[in-house]
Structure 1
């Protein structure tokens, strides 16, 4: 998988800045614990930290292409290209010679062959930088769905870049400033494309190429969702979905290191796990390992809530038996979830105070435990966005609310809990409702349309687009940060752009042809799963229900509130925070208090300057 970083400056000799460039690169050690590399020329420093997955001996980076006149291009690459074998064959036929078996060299040779058009040839999850030594131009490229992150920070004479903000912030040229726009984005629960939260920082948009040259910075979209007529009937559509999934999972099983599956007992992860298990057995490679997260006493004392009607574990175990996988439960307790070292690691992984609390801590601990056995994991993430699985897709009030549907749903509105704590003057300045409205109008203006499409079908195309370009980014970012913090590569088959493009254009009536959510996916996996899992209602990632967790959380906040010198006091109403901390636990109060603790630690640890 790996982490990348770099610095381009057309006015200084970066060979004199090796120490800073190395510091930037070393912030990515969590993403690449196996190796490190740094390539420096007068105007470019390209860094890399490697997590070795394919061609362990031959895939070292930065990878340099040599031409008749010396070095021609340098690549620092993070991710996996799943069609690299076909591309290698095509490039070999065009005269390219390969020294390694790695997909990294395929990407480098693809650049030499196609230039910035190379991205259109790639199938996978990736974020990479190419420095062209001939033209002294930098290319930053991100995969179509934004599975892998990539940030950049323009400077007066060039740019800083990295897989995560921390790589950029290691350079003294990057200011650690949070302005009003950054605060709005941080608290809105809407991930705006290209917004980097820190003032002056940007994120390469999914499906985008950013070019940096002496003439400045240019941006181009090489991929976006298009509206197309869907000609297949239900039977053919289900067959196509299944055929795509068979091919996608087969490609994503390729690895030179141990691989496993993340299993929650829901339709999405169960289907991926069952497909992986069948494919491995057919290849004579044995069974697949699977892992799930659980909390001590959770199943025995489970109480249904707004989003979860059943605990995961019984379904996890049923699928493990049915698909004959080697399964392990990772059972956590509240002390582990509240461990200050774990919470510090989560914040360091995020670089931002996202306020999700125990759901981040448990995911981090799950991935940390998995990393002791496997280096690659398959995930069912993003199926709900692709196939329409969330409850609010099927809630007419949320769908017609005039905003992002997840913000209109009681199930997710609790994540906006930080608003409960804002000082009155800060809340007026932030105007989060106005900010969300503006972002919503921007997103709607992007939606591709079909001539004659109107009514509910038109609206559901809009809802699907909002999820595939905004909401899914929140979840993919979380999964990437928590997994890469421990050096685990998580692959997301449902984000294959071929599947996304196809299903996006299936009419909503066909996506719900059996009167349920995710009708197409359920039909496509009917032969692989037990009926109990096929019929199970969507249950999102679990949150602990242990009362001791809430008591500990409220206690931590009470301690913080004894220190009015906290930098968070510039944003938070201390009296309101005391009231919430002294009150009964609720999903909204948990979200608000988690955010307060993280805000305090983030402002201190990252030395953030407020410019509101």
Structure 2
């Protein structure tokens, strides 16, 4: 993985703007700690920060393709194309000659061979830009599911782009201005494709190509989930899923750097880890290195809550005992979760205060930081719940039948009540949520289902299109902030397309959540984990963490800055702080404090102008 930036301007000579391009590129240093490169033409400038994963000596970027000594195309690329070996073989047969072993060169040569349609051939997670010097056009491309981020900002007769907003904000003509839609984006527990927090900024939609030319910006969708009738039997379906997963794991365990897995003791990560371990032992005789996370005294003092029936650690240890991975338990100190430097690192990684999920953000950041000490690539079980129907709210009629996004009963925030009354009134979050929900429903591809099957197809699509992007963004930002590449096997688009079209009755054929995945994993995952009820990523239960949040909130309102006074309802915050310690730990109030503290820090340090 890497960080990319760029600038196209048809009215300026960008050869005279090198310091600006360098400043934009430098903002991506954490995403790409191994090298920096810049390429500038008259009307285009591309920057790159590299995290070396494939062909450590080759693959220098931005990468140029030349003919007769002239650059015909230049690429700045982030991500991994897993089928690059087969693509390379086909390109060699067509007369292309390669000077590196990198997938980067395969992407560039594929564009030269097949033009814009080359995106249909790529399998992987990626975000990249190609400047075609012959056409004087820029292509911005994002992977099908949107695993890797890519933002853009039209500017004059051209565009700015970057892996993260900070790259665009580094340009002197762009200012951190956030309007009502931007705040709605930051507060809401769902994502609408293409939205971004900052005024004038957008995110390239998953599965889309943007073409920038003198005529402006055009976008085209090259992939989306489609509806098909599922005709395979249950046995064939399970075997097909196993076949897909074996292919996926063989592709995603390839790297020239150490690969590990993130192990929670749940079904998803255990299937990933066990399959990867088997493949690595066959390939080179080495066991997989796995990592798990827990909190100091958590395992000893775990208390069942509304979302978690069991602690992760006993299941992790049972898995390691049976599979015999090389395992590391990362134990986090709750003081570190509340540490201001850690929290500011999280805000800087997000370029915003999108802190829905509370301590999960600093927890992931610290976990990834520990993993990065020995590994460069990690495999994750993320997205299995969205693909196979794993969340509890998939299986309760009162949430399934909500006239909104089904997870909102569990995941919605009350941060709105901590905002100033005027701002809260202007946001009209209920209307915004209703409009977004209606738009999201219109995007669902139906194929004649009725009743429960129709509704569950909607529920599954809503999770994949409007909930999963939140988790992928969190995973990407927290991992790339420490230079760690996290791969997500369950986001393989062929697997996702296949499982999406299986009927809900088949997804729950044994009366449980994720029935198809449980059946597919039955011969490789320990029995205790196969029986375990879904448990989400752990959250600290230490009252000291809540006390640290309360102390931060008290400091925030003791002498509020003009911006804090304009944004927050100080009286409502005082009322929250008057509640007994521990009362807010049960629900979303603690996460609202997390969110409000992050927003205050972001507004001040980024000098955000609310418009």
Tell me the equivalent position of 1:155. Answer: 155
Tell me the equivalent position of 2:185. Answer: 185
Residues 548-559 of structure 1: pairs in structure 2 closer than 5 A: 548-559=544-555
**Hey, what's the Cα distance between the residues in 1 that align with 2:87 and 2:19?**
37
Contact 1:153/1:200 (<8 A) preserved: yes
Contact 1:83/1:251 (<8 A) preserved: yes
Tell me the equivalent position of 1:76. Answer: 76
**Hey, what's the Cα distance between the residues in 1 that align with 2:565 and 2:539?**
28
| CA displacement 1:346-370 (0-9 Å, x = unmatched) | 1100111022332111100000010
Contact 1:376/1:490 (<8 A) preserved: yes
| CA displacement 1:251-275 (0-9 Å, x = unmatched) | 1000000110000000000000000
**Hey, what's the Cα distance between the residues in 2 that align with 1:417 and 1:363?**
23
Residues 248-267 of structure 1: pairs in structure 2 closer than 5 A: 248-267=248-267
Residues 93-492 of structure 1: pairs in structure 2 closer than 5 A: 93-355=93-355, 356-408=357-409, 410=410, 412-413=411-412, 416-450=413-447, 452-492=448-488
Residues 563-574 of structure 1: pairs in structure 2 closer than 5 A: 563-574=559-570
| CA displacement 1:359-401 (0-9 Å, x = unmatched) | 1111000000100000000000000000000111111111110
Per-residue deviation, 1:177:
0.7
Normalised TM-score (structure 1): 0.98
| CA displacement 1:398-446 (0-9 Å, x = unmatched) | 11101000103x3x23xx1312212222111101111011001111111
Per-residue deviation, 1:285:
3.1
**Hey, what's the Cα distance between the residues in 1 that align with 2:417 and 2:312?**
31
Gaps spanning 5+ residues in structure 1: where?
Answer: none
Per-residue deviation, 1:566:
4.7
Q: Which secondary structure state, in structure 2, belongs to the residue aligned with residue 550 of structure 1?
A: helix
**Hey, what's the Cα distance between the residues in 2 that align with 1:357 and 1:345?**
14
Contact 2:417/2:424 (<8 A) preserved: no
Contact 1:4/1:163 (<8 A) preserved: yes
Contact 1:554/1:582 (<8 A) preserved: no
**Hey, what's the Cα distance between the residues in 2 that align with 1:605 and 1:7?**
25
**Hey, what's the Cα distance between the residues in 2 that align with 1:581 and 1:496?**
45
**Hey, what's the Cα distance between the residues in 2 that align with 1:588 and 1:494?**
28
Contact 1:568/1:596 (<8 A) preserved: no
Contact 2:151/2:161 (<8 A) preserved: yes
**Hey, what's the Cα distance between the residues in 1 that align with 2:333 and 2:58?**
42
| CA displacement 1:20-69 (0-9 Å, x = unmatched) | 10010010000000000000011111000000000001111000000136
**Hey, what's the Cα distance between the residues in 2 that align with 1:155 and 1:163?**
17
Contact 2:358/2:592 (<8 A) preserved: no
Q: Which secondary structure state, in structure 1, belongs to the residue aligned with residue 407 of structure 2?
A: helix
Structure 1 consecutive aligned stretches of length 4 or more whose deviation exceeds 6 Å: none
**Hey, what's the Cα distance between the residues in 1 that align with 2:417 and 2:327?**
41
Q: Which secondary structure state, in structure 1, belongs to the residue aligned with residue 119 of structure 2?
A: helix
Q: Which secondary structure state, in structure 2, belongs to the residue aligned with residue 104 of structure 1?
A: helix
Residues 43-58 of structure 1: pairs in structure 2 closer than 5 A: 43-58=43-58
Aligned length: 606
**Hey, what's the Cα distance between the residues in 2 that align with 1:306 and 1:419?**
23
**Hey, what's the Cα distance between the residues in 1 that align with 2:443 and 2:280?**
41
Contact 1:568/1:599 (<8 A) preserved: no
Per-residue deviation, 1:173:
1.6
- Per mean C-alpha deviation after superposition, the further-off stretch among 416-425 and 515-524 is 416-425
Of 518, 523, 527, the match for 2:519: 523
Tell me the equivalent position of 1:538. Answer: 534
Tell me the equivalent position of 1:497. Answer: 493
Per-residue deviation, 1:473:
0.1
Q: Which secondary structure state, in structure 2, belongs to the residue aligned with residue 85 of structure 1?
A: helix
- Per mean C-alpha deviation after superposition, the further-off stretch among 22-31 and 61-70 is 61-70
**Hey, what's the Cα distance between the residues in 2 that align with 1:369 and 1:242?**
32
| CA displacement 1:518-540 (0-9 Å, x = unmatched) | 00000001011111100111111
Q: Which secondary structure state, in structure 2, belongs to the residue aligned with residue 553 of structure 1?
A: helix
Per-residue deviation, 1:175:
2.2
Gaps spanning 5+ residues in structure 2: where?
Answer: none
**Hey, what's the Cα distance between the residues in 2 that align with 1:148 and 1:16?**
31
Normalised TM-score (structure 2): 0.98
**Hey, what's the Cα distance between the residues in 1 that align with 2:384 and 2:173?**
40
Contact 2:359/2:591 (<8 A) preserved: no
Contact 1:322/1:529 (<8 A) preserved: no
